[in-house]
Structure 1
Amino acid sequence: VIYAVDTRKVVSLRFPTFWFEPTPQGLFMLQVAFGQSKYYSDNLSDNIKRGVRQKLRRGEWLNLAPFGYTNNPKVRNIEPHPTNARVVTLAFQEYAKGSHTFISLAQFLADLGVVTRNQTPLAKVSIKRLLTHRAYLGFVKHGDEWFDGNFAPIVTPALFEDVQKVLQTKERPRKRKIKHDFPFTGLFRCAECGSMISAQWATGKSGGRYRYYRCSKKRGHCSQAYLQEIELTRQICARLQTISLCDRYTDWMLDKVKMWEREEIGASQSEVQNLSDSIKANEERMEKLLSAYLDGDVPKEVYLKRKDFLMRALAALKEKMKDFERGRNNWVEPLREWILDTKQANFDKSAHFAAPVPSQFVAKRRALLPTPAPKARASSHLSDSEVSFCGRGEIRTHGALADTPVFKTGAIVHSATLPYEIV
């Protein structure tokens, strides 16, 4: 500007609070004004950068909150939105199943009211940005680097990693293996022709997908119709409510649960110690990595990649530590309640439990038709055959029962043979 004034290309400059004439005194005052403005701009930039560094040290979010969070001006940080946070969690859970595409997930979010300003579903790039945004893990991004945040995460590290695995699988669709989810296949047999019961998906008029079970008709003509999974589940639940265990079985199972609970307490203490050591080791690796980067021994690209990996691993370890602090033996009480429920259920006094025999499941006229099982011996002692469980061609006696995941998780393996018959 000074050179333009000297060459007479700029004759005069006038501002709301300052103006000058093309004289030596005017040029001097102009240089002073330019120097003051440059000093003010540089000083303001340094102050802003200093404030950003302070916010990063405190783990505070720097700008407008992402979707799922809301800015709280009182604490100058973000916090989960009461409604949108649940929508984000639901979106991660749905996509982790592997049955959604970006378009279908955008339509799913549109049904929940998450749309653009033009009231249209989100674009595919917006869906991918949402599924890969690490702010939902409690991280803060500044430039190309992520830092630990001081706000509550919306999704767990395990759920986030499951979504990333699905995203990687979607990028290579040829290697993707589609697995149908039919939980009741292999359990039932048609009462008319004796063929096994198969399953298939059906799409309704509104676009909903439903599971139906039918006879496979491998042995010729069969007149049995389709049965929806909801109705089949209702009948199975109603049938299970009529089954009960005698006292000697439930007492033996409760004693096993107590033994597993004591073993779990001892294992939890050692596991907590191992997690604490792993967290401390990861923190030390983070400090060494930062020191190597500051000394110039590690390139910035390698530093950012390695730091991102360590931060995600550290977040996963801290989440496991929280689970242990809440109590790892959360499966004990549900399993104990399930055993007591089987003891108190209403059942026919003439139906008893005997040694496991190959169970026969029959579906006829869209209903399950039961027949009483053989009666048990009058002895109160549990034999090896009575406490064994037959499933998928294996025999599990009470000696190896403690290692069976069926009871430890409180779940029932569909292929396991029940000690009674349904015919």
Structure 2
Amino acid sequence: MNKYYIYCRKSSESEDRQILSIPAQIDALKEIAKDHALHVIRSFAESKSAKYSGRPDFNELNKRIEAEEGNAVLVWHPDRLSRNPEDSAKIISLMDAGKLLEVVTPTQTFRNNPMDKFMLGFFMMNAKLENDNKGVNVKRGLKAKAEKGWLPSGAKPGYTNDKYAEKGNKTIQNDPVRFPLIKQCWDLMLTGAYTVPQILEKLNNEWSYRTTTRKSIGDKPMGRSQIYRTFTDSFYYGMFEFPVGSSIWYKGSHEPMVTREEFDRVQTILGRPGKPRPKIKEFPLTGLIRCGECGAMATAEEKWQVICPVCKLKFNSNNRSACPKCTITIEAMRKPTLLHYIYYHCTKRKDPNCTQRSIRTEELEKQVDAFLAKIGISEEFKNWAIKYLNVLNDNEVETRNASLSSLQNAYNACVSRLDNLLKFKISPQNTDGRSSPTRNSRHKKPP
């Protein structure tokens, strides 16, 4: 009597889109074994592509047949066993050696004779041919799409694929919600006054940006690595490389978010060490003034001091909660004297021996006022500035509207989830009060 192994396989690739699920394959093959009184000694099942050799369960199946523990295989279709020449040769070699006597499918049995072995090899190699042709056709289609100026992949943040277009002719359009938000990120970066983490904080928390919702991912804040990729991606000024690393560049047909010059400027900002930007504590003049002696940038420090009403000691309160002399806590002091100072001074990065001392903010502001008083503004510049302020206002309105739209979408998604949860909670199917739609669907028997 022949000893049968059941072998089932399904990969997540498009080649297996129409194939039954593994549980459905097992049920169907067990039914065949029962109807024909086949002696099944073990079942193998794996979710791997058969385009290449190296599947663990398939190799284990071959080892057991080689060791003559079993001598027949029950499988849904020959292409479940192999789609590559190496594994196909293993199956035929086992038949040539007399160790594999037959391969049984729901529609056909391949026994150890020349014609059946030829047909079995033909079906497996025909699956290989289908894969190869599919790969060639896909590459040809992707290249044709790139030549038309459309990136042959998912849309970048700020853009969306036209889901209503015919497959193969999908274009890339501006995302009405996310495009203005990502554009505003570029604008902030171009000012040179914001770091990438600061821009990311604004994008996610102030403007409520959420990624595009897909089947199992999305509707989340943008990640740190993603925003760095965005600021270094040539797609945003209208060019893309395809395939990546090929040095073949195409001009995109999508609407660029920035110009080439603006993109290059952002790359300079990202790569320039010591670029002056406001730190966690922002001071109005840092990043704008330099030391008059050595030319290094000026920085500022804030100091809070307390005069203890008990012992009259003046001490720095930045990192203290009590008087260092009499140990009374600041909270317990009655009418303590609070002093607040902001000092600007040279960073001395260019010359550690720079002799310039610190200056109080009040004195520095007087010097700035005196300098600005010498500057006159022409009528032409004033008109241009007012016009540009209107442009900035329009941009701010667009960003605010996009942010509100993003918030509304997130709110609607939450309400929808709550409604569905309530419906399931009161459903007669939820008898124990602990089931979930996800758990319920996982336990459904495949067709």
The question of a shared fold, defined as TM-score above 0.5 by the shorter chain, is answered with no
Q: TM-score, normalised by structure 2?
A: 0.39
Q: Which has the larger radius of gyration?
A: 2
Q: TM-score, normalised by structure 1?
A: 0.41
